[in-house]
Amino acid sequence: MIPEEVLRQAQEEMLDWHGLGVSIMELGHRGPEFQAVIEQVEADLREVMGIPSNYHVLFVAGGASHQFSMVPLNLLSEHHKDADYIETGIWSHKAVVEAKRYGNINVAGQVIVENGIHRLPRQAELKLNPKAAYLHYTPNETVDGIEFHWVPKTGDVPLVADMTSCIMSQPINVNDYQMIYAGAQKNVGQAGITIVIIREDLVKEALAITPILYTYKAYVESKSCYNTPPTYAIYISGLVLNWIKKQGGVKAIGERNHRKAKKLYDCIDQHKGFYVNKIAPDCRALLNVVFSLAREELTDEFLNQATQLGLTNLRGHRSAGGIRASIYNAMPEAGVDCLVEFMREFAKKNG
Amino acid sequence: MIPEEVLRQAQEEMLDWHGLGVSIMELGHRGPEFQAVIEQVEADLREVMGIPSNYHVLFVAGGASHQFSMVPLNLLSEHHKDADYIETGIWSHKAVVEAKRYGNINVAGQVIVENGIHRLPRQAELKLNPKAAYLHYTPNETVDGIEFHWVPKTGDVPLVADMTSCIMSQPINVNDYQMIYAGAQKNVGQAGITIVIIREDLVKEALAITPILYTYKAYVESKSCYNTPPTYAIYISGLVLNWIKKQGGVKAIGERNHRKAKKLYDCIDQHKGFYVNKIAPDCRALLNVVFSLAREELTDEFLNQATQLGLTNLRGHRSAGGIRASIYNAMPEAGVDCLVEFMREFAKKNG
């Protein structure tokens, strides 16, 4: 979902961006106009997320999956190939699989299942290697709807977070991380661009085999313009950042997201025998509320009736089944209210 | 430049794509709606370019520069690391630099300067290695405006062409190539996506060090959906392909492009002492008419006056200086007429 205001502005500016009589799609990436756009998007990102000046902000074409390779290729070195990964779902698993091709990967923690309830490992349960080149984790796993609500402590080991599905969903302290990356399509715009926030000292020579456009150095040195960047995707991210600022910033958005999530989880918990959420309360995802129906055979009926009310995209990930309510930033609170009302009605009729 | 009709359609559909009430930016890439889009774009591409069924069509996020690494990583093997490159300008040079990191690169031909006139090597002048894994060349070099108007013969060696700046500018015979790639931003849409056309037998295991999203195999096996593709860029390419079909296809577009180029080159040649083009007539680029003013000090005045007439983006590449008229498919014939008239006037006043 993209905020309607953002789409309206993109629509208005499609044929005539800022009175230039051309579309922003048609601007050369080295011209002063587009350079001003990319600089403003970076400045807005720094403001909205509170990114300190000793971090680079890079725009990398393509989705976050490229980072599954880029992180080990850039943060490992010939003499230091050990890295820690917390593996808590399909996204962090994919990151582990790719990293194993380049380094010695220690899985420092996984999801723990106790009495059918899934929870994340606690700090004391992490098997950390104090000499790891970095620790990689995925704060929010979208398929199962499980999220860290605390930041792992890693001592001197750089912490790398894949925030694709949780970036700008609530305030964070960027200083808690040495590197953050996020595909833009959940909360910062459209598919086709990934934002990389990396502390200056982590940018060094990549492994010798690294393709030039997989080295963070190339992006740092060229200000993300080594080659033509996805200019339109960067522009849309800029519009979304403006929208976030108008909403009151990440703080206000976070408060709204917590209200939205609470309404849904409360409804699930109030209908315990009917709706099932298997995630421990302190690990429940803010933006991906995943649940199933105790009577699984009602799932299709639930989805059909929801669709008729305009509540679409509720089918769970193909690997998980069940229901998943993705309530990203652009989903208005009223949409959640509508879903909760439908869920109550559906439970009453079929419970 | 993007055709105005394409921008208008994108504008109209921004908030409501095909009556679904959502933007195409918001559609999941695995849903039936987007899958129908990407299939249609592939079908249109096959139709417009006449791509045989034994070629794959892949959509790769990012610009063509990624292919400078992907080509050697995928087409070389541990036991066969020799490749030929024709190096005729800055783009093919960049491809050579990157390929040298992975293989033994033989530069099979370069631009030849005779009496100040630049020309491409002829077939007999190419120093081909009959055992090369492939020959890579760049049919059109945009900075100098120099273009192959014939296809190198390579015997059994696969021919790979970077067509970023000439794809769909005129009809080609895809069977003359084993692989074609092109960043979309010149003739097929917006920046952020590269089209790869590769004969089936060339898709094999990449070098062991290749990041998963740099292997053609991952795109073939997932139908370009290994991860979230740049959905909006693919959609825009589809609109441009429709526009090409409405124009009468690549044949009609090619005829118009030849008329456009002839008008400009004729004007330059008719004012020989005033405008200078240093490219041999049979190597002149169809879409990038590069020239300079004999009296170099008039360049800024030329550019200023042109801008006042709405003739923008005429400054030559920063490495070449002078003037460059980029007359891609979306540039209407009337725009070229306007430029030619201005050039005649300017020469008359200052000649």
**Which residue in A8, A29, A211 is closest to B191 by CB distance?**
A29
- In this prediction, residue A313 carries a pLDDT of 87
- In this prediction, residue A21 carries a pLDDT of 87
Average pLDDT, chain A: 96
User: Which residues lie closer than 8 Å to A114 by C-beta, 6 or more apart?
Assistant: none
Question: A80: which 2 tokens?
Answer: 């230091």
d(CA A210, CA A212): 6
Contact A231 B69 (CB under 8 A): no
Question: A162: which 2 tokens?
Answer: 């894949």
A122 to chain B, minimum CA–CA distance in Å?
Answer: 30
**Which residue in A14, A231, A236 is closest to B10 by CB distance?**
A14
B114 to chain A, minimum CA–CA distance in Å?
Answer: 32
Average pLDDT over residues B102-120: 98
Binned at pLDDT 50, 70 and 90, residue A115 comes out as: very high
- In this prediction, residue B127 carries a pLDDT of 98
d(CA B168, CA B185): 12
Partners of residue B61 in chain A, C-beta under 8 Å:
61-63, 66, 192, 230
**Which residue in B63, B231, B236 is closest to A191 by CB distance?**
B231
Q: Is A278 a catalytic residue?
A: no
Nearest chain B residue (CA) to A61 = B62
Binned at pLDDT 50, 70 and 90, residue A20 comes out as: confident
A145 to chain B, minimum CA–CA distance in Å?
Answer: 18
Token pair 């959609």 is found at B235
**Rounded percentage of chain B residues whose pLDDT exceeds 90:** 94
Task: Give whole-number Cα distances, B112 to A254, B89, B109, in Å.
Answer: 63, 11, 9
Catalytic residues of B: 91, 162, 186
Which residues, listed in sequence order, are joined to residue A332 by a DSSP beta bridge? none
Average pLDDT, chain B: 96
Substitution target from A37, A212, A326, A329 for chain B, most B beta carbons within 10 A: A212
B91 to chain A, minimum CA–CA distance in Å?
Answer: 11
d(CA B195, CA B234): 10
- In this prediction, residue B351 carries a pLDDT of 86
**Which residue in A14, A15, A211 is closest to B214 by CB distance?**
A211
B86 to chain A, minimum CA–CA distance in Å?
Answer: 21
Partners of residue A66 in chain B, C-beta under 8 Å:
61, 211, 213, 227
Partners of residue A326 in chain B, C-beta under 8 Å:
none
| ipTM, 2 dp | 0.95
Q: What is the pLDDT of residues B252-292, one digit of tens each?
A: 999 999 999 999 999 999 999 999 999 999 999 999 999 99
d(CA A321, CA A249): 34
Binned at pLDDT 50, 70 and 90, residue B320 comes out as: confident
Binned at pLDDT 50, 70 and 90, residue B161 comes out as: very high
- In this prediction, residue A46 carries a pLDDT of 98
**What DSSP line would sit under A315-338, residue for residue?**
BPPTTT-SEEEE--TTS-HHHHHH
Partners of residue B35 in chain A, C-beta under 8 Å:
none
Partners of residue A38 in chain B, C-beta under 8 Å:
none
Is pLDDT larger for residue A253 or for residue B313? A253
Nearest chain A residue (CA) to B63 = A228
pLDDT higher than 90, residue B159: yes
Helices (H), A128-215: none
Q: What is the pLDDT of residues A235-257, one digit of tens each?
A: 999 999 999 999 999 999 999 99
Checking B317-323 for CB contacts under 8 A at 24+ apart, the result is: B317/B90, B317/B142, B317/B143, B318/A30, B319/B90, B319/B143, B320/B143, B320/B144, B320/B290, B321/B292, B321/B296, B322/B290, B322/B291, B322/B292, B322/B293, B323/B290, B323/B291, B323/B292, B323/B293, B323/B299
d(CA B153, CA A39): 46
**Which residue in A4, A11, A214 is closest to B11 by CB distance?**
A11
- In this prediction, residue B56 carries a pLDDT of 98
- In this prediction, residue B121 carries a pLDDT of 98
CB–CB of A127/A109 below 8 Å?
Answer: yes
Binned at pLDDT 50, 70 and 90, residue B313 comes out as: confident
A12 to chain B, minimum CA–CA distance in Å?
Answer: 8
- In this prediction, residue B312 carries a pLDDT of 85
Partners of residue A61 in chain B, C-beta under 8 Å:
61-63, 66, 192, 230
Query: A44, A84, A144, A186: which is the annotated catalytic residue?
Result: A186
Partners of residue A192 in chain B, C-beta under 8 Å:
61, 192-193, 229-233
Q: What is the pLDDT of residues B216-242, one digit of tens each?
A: 999 999 999 999 999 999 999 999 999
Contact B63 A227 (CB under 8 A): yes
Contact A227 B1 (CB under 8 A): no
Nearest chain A residue (CA) to B225 = A63
Partners of residue B309 in chain A, C-beta under 8 Å:
none
CB–CB of B1/A26 below 8 Å?
Answer: yes
Q: What is the pLDDT of residues A294-351, one digit of tens each?
A: 999 999 999 999 999 988 889 999 888 899 999 999 999 999 999 999 999 999 999 8
Contact A236 B212 (CB under 8 A): no
Binned at pLDDT 50, 70 and 90, residue B79 comes out as: very high
Binned at pLDDT 50, 70 and 90, residue B318 comes out as: confident
Q: What is the pLDDT of residues A51-87, one digit of tens each?
A: 999 999 999 999 999 999 999 999 999 999 999 999 9
Query: A144, A162, A243, A260: which is the annotated catalytic residue?
Result: A162
- In this prediction, residue B25 carries a pLDDT of 92
Task: Give whole-number Cα distances, A218 to A190, A221, A291, in Å.
Answer: 23, 5, 43
Identify the H or E element spanning B181: strand B179-183
Task: Give whole-number Cα distances, A226 to A350, B25, B95, B129, in Å.
Answer: 58, 26, 14, 32
Question: B165: which 2 tokens?
Answer: 């700046």
- Predicted structure pTM score: 0.96
**What DSSP line would sit under A79-108, residue for residue?**
TB-EEEEEE-SHHHHHHHHHHTTTSEEEEE
Question: B283: which 2 tokens?
Answer: 């190597």
